[in-house]
Amino acid sequence: MDLLQKKLKLLPDNPGVYLMKNATGKIIYVGKAKVLKNRVRSYFTGSHDQKTQKLVSEITDFEYILTSSEVEALLLECNLIKKHDPYYNIMLKDDKSYPYILITSEKHPRIIVTRKFSKKAGKYFGPYPNATAARETARLLNRLLPFRKCSQIPAKSCLYYHIGQCLGPCIHPIEPEQYQEVLDKATMFLRGNQKSIINWLEGKMTKAAEALQFEAAREYRDLIQDLKTISEKQNITLSDLRNRDIVAYAFNEELMNIQVFCFRQGKLVTRDSFFFAYYDEPEESFLSFLIQYYTDEMVIPDEICIPEIQSTAVMDILPLTIPKKGKTKQLLAMAASNAETVLKEKMDLEKDKNEEIQKTMTGLCKLLGIAQADTIEAFDISGLFGSNIVGGMVQFKAGKPFRANYRKFNIAPLANNNDDTAYLKHIIGRRYSRLQREESAMPDLILVDGGKGQVKAALDALKELRLTIPVAGMVKNDRHETRSLINQAGRELSIDTRIEVFYLIQRIQDEVHRFAITFHRQQRIKNMTASELDGIPGIGPKRKRMLLRTFDSLDAIKNAAPEEFIKSGLSAVAAQEVYNHFHHT
C-alpha cells in the first residue's frame, strides 16, 4: 500500500488509460480518464459500493499510459481490454462478433452467413445480433433465388439445379450478367423491400397454377407466407429508410443494462440487450461500451442515436446523434424504458433467487450444525481396477458452481494402501497444504463422495495439516442416487427429498462425479493410446502428438492406411513403420 500511495501522489493531470494489477501482476481492470490523477485516486478515497470494494481490495499496483486526448484514451482502452481480457472488464471482453449476410463477389455468387468481414469478399448486409434470424433469412433467399449453393463447383449437377434453386454453373457456362436479376432481387429484399418480391412471387405462383404445376405453385405460396411473416415481425418503421441504431441505457448501484435497437432500411430488424457491472461513472461506462461494440470489424450504421451526454470525445469516433424531437426521440425513450424495465426485472429475479439460495444455505448449515457454507469444495476419486486413478474437486459458491476453481489430481499408485480412502486423503492433503502455502482462503465446508471411511480420511488429512474445516459425506443408495449426508460423527442425516437442501447436495454430488469420471476417461484413453505408440521406430513425442490430434482413438490409428498417416504429417517411412507395427503377422 505504501507503493500505491507514493504512485498516487505522482499521477499527472493528463488524459490517459490506467491498468490495475493484482498481487500476481495480472491486469484485472482497464479504465480511461480525462484527468488521470482525479480518476485513479478516487478508487482509494471515500466509500464505494460492494462491487467496487471487491475490485479495490485486489489492487496492489497500477500503471498508466498518457494520451494526447480523451478520444485517444477511449480507443486505447478498447484495444487494451481486448488484449488483456481483464477480469473486471465484463462488457464485450469475449470479442463478440455478429453475423452478416454476405452476397459473395465470386464469378458464381453465393449467399451465406458469416462473422468475418472483408470488403473484398462481396456485399454485406447486417449485422444481425440475432444469429437465428440471419440464418433463416439466408435460407429463405437460397430457396427463393438460384444462387450457387456449393462451396466448390462440382463435376456434375446436384439436386438444387434440378429443383430450380441453382443456375448450374457446373454443367454449362453462366455469364456474370445472368446473375444480375438474382442479385437485384436479393439486394432489394435485404434492404427491406419485401413488397415488390411478394408481388413478383405472386405472379410466378399464378402462372404455375395456370400451367397446372401445382407443386411449384405450392412452393411459391409457402415462400410468400414466409416473407409475409418476416414483414409482420418488422412492425416498427422509420420513413427515411436509413440504417440506424437506437442505443439507450439504465443503471442502478450494481448493474447497467444497455439496449440496442437495430433499424435497417428504416425497419426494426432486431434488438440486443447487455448487462454488466460498471466501475466508472455510468456515462463513462456507456461510452466505453459504444467504442467496444462498434469495432472496426463491424459495419457501422449511418447513424447511432444516443441520450444526452456530457463528454463529446466519442463524437469524433462514431456517427452519434442526440435526437431532440420526432420519431427517433420517441424510439430512444422506448429503448430507455426497455432498459429500465429489464434491469428492474433482473434485479427482482436476482433478489428472489438470492433469497432462495440463502434459505437453502441456512438449511444446510442447520442440518450440519455449522456456521456457514458459502464456499463448498467437494471431492471424488475415479479409477478402473486400480489403474489411471485420478481425483476431482469442484467448488460451489453461494450454491452455484464456480468452475474457475475446479481442480484435477493425477494420483500415482500408493505403496502401502490402494483403496479409495487413501487416495482421497492424499488429494485433500495436497489441496489444502497448497492453500496454506499460498495463504489462500479455505472453504467453509468439505464434502466427499462416500460414507464414514471417506469422511474419516478427509478429517485425518486435515488433522495432519492442523486445519479445522467441517466435513460431510454424500451417501448414495443402491441405485447410485443421492440418499443423505453423513456428518463428522459418522451419523447419517436424513434429508427430505422435496426440499432445496437435498437438490443442492444432489447437484454437487452429480457434478463432482461427472468431473472426476470425465477426467479419468480422458487419462485412460490418452495413456492407452500413448503406450501403444511407444517403441515404434521413428515415432517420438512430436509425431505421437500429430497422430493423437488427427485420429480420434487407438482403433482409428490401427485401422488407418499409410496414406492417412502421411496426411497427418508423417513421412512415408514413418507412416509405413506405424502401419507395420499394427499389422505385423
Question: What DSSP line would sit under 122-163, residue for residue?
Answer: EEEE---S-HHHHHHHHHHHHHHS-----SS--SS--HHHHT
pLDDT at 459: 95
Task: Identify residue 122 by its one-letter amino acid code.
Answer: G
Task: Identify residue 533 by its one-letter amino acid code.
Answer: L
Mean pLDDT for the chain?
83
| Segment holding 465, helix H or strand E | none
Assigned CATH topology for domain 534-583: DNA polymerase; domain 1 (1.10.150)
Instruction: Say what angle helices 131-144 and 214-233 make with each other, to 10 degrees.
Output: 150
- The angle at the Cα of 202, spanning 196 to 205, to the nearest 5 degrees, equals 145
Ranges of the chain with pLDDT below 50:
93-95, 232-235, 585
In 3-state terms, what secondary structure has residue 104?
A: strand
pLDDT at 313: 82
Residue 89 makes CB contacts below 8 A (sequence gap 6+) with 29, 30, 81
Q: Give the C-alpha separation, 150 to 527, whole Å.
A: 41
Q: 231: how many CB neighbours lie within 10 A of its CB?
A: 15
pLDDT at 90: 62
Q: Give the C-alpha separation, 78 to 74, whole Å.
A: 6
The pLDDT tens digits for 477-533 are 877 788 889 998 889 888 887 788 999 999 999 999 999 888 877 776 666 555 567
| Segment holding 567, helix H or strand E | helix 562-567
pLDDT at 192: 62
Give whole-number Cα distances, 165 to 144, 150, 161, 171, 213, in Å. Answer: 7, 12, 6, 14, 16
The pLDDT tens digits for 406-442 are 999 988 776 565 678 888 999 999 999 999 998 899 9
In 3-state terms, what secondary structure has residue 164?
A: coil
pLDDT at 375: 94
- Per CATH, 2-84 and 375-524 having the same topology is answered no
Residue 489 backbone phi and psi in degrees, to 5: -80, 0
pLDDT at 101: 83
The pLDDT tens digits for 332-383 are 998 999 899 889 888 888 888 888 888 999 999 999 999 999 999 999 998 7
Burial class (CB within 10 angstroms; exposed 0-12, middle 13-18, buried 19+) of 485: buried
| SS3 sequence of 417-459 | CCCHHHHHHHHHHHHHHHHHHHCCCCCCEEEEECCHHHHHHHH
Residue 373 makes CB contacts below 8 A (sequence gap 6+) with 361, 364, 365, 444, 445
Alpha helix (H) residue ranges in 441-561:
452-464, 500-533, 541-550, 554-558
pLDDT at 523: 73
Give whole-number Cα distances, 434 to 408, 430, 437, 461, in Å. Answer: 14, 6, 5, 13
Residue 106 in grid coordinates: 465470386
Q: 3-state DSSP helix/strand/coil percent for the chain, to nearest 5?
A: 45, 20, 35
Residue 66 in grid coordinates: 498518457
Q: Give the C-alpha separation, 187 to 473, whole Å.
A: 65
pLDDT at 230: 56
Q: How far is CA 389 from the centre of its chain?
A: 32
Q: Give the C-alpha separation, 573 to 197, whole Å.
A: 61
pLDDT at 552: 62
Q: Is the peptide bond before 127 cis (omega within 30 degrees of 0)?
A: yes
Count Cα atoms within 13 angstroms, Cβ side, for 287.
Answer: 27
| SS3 sequence of 218-240 | HHHHHHHHHHHHHHHHCCCECCC
pLDDT at 128: 67
2-84 belongs to CATH 3.20.20.370: no
Q: In 3D, which of 131, 100, 129, 126 has the Cα closest to residue 113? A: 100
Say if residues 166 and 148 touch (Cβ distance below 8 Å): yes
Say if residues 279 and 57 touch (Cβ distance below 8 Å): no
Assigned CATH topology for domain 375-524: Nucleotidyltransferase; domain 5 (3.30.420)
Residue 262 in grid coordinates: 437495430
Listed by start position, the domains of the chain span 2-84, 100-191, 244-345, 375-524, 534-583
In sequence order, what are the beta bridge partners of 378?
394, 447
What is the number of helices (H) and of strands (E) in the chain? 18, 19
What's the predicted TM-score (pTM) here? 0.52
Q: Give the C-alpha separation, 499 to 483, whole Å.
A: 13
- Note the residue count of the chain: 585
Q: In 3D, which of 75, 63, 67, 78 has the Cα closest to residue 26? A: 63
Residue 404 in grid coordinates: 474457475
Burial class (CB within 10 angstroms; exposed 0-12, middle 13-18, buried 19+) of 468: exposed
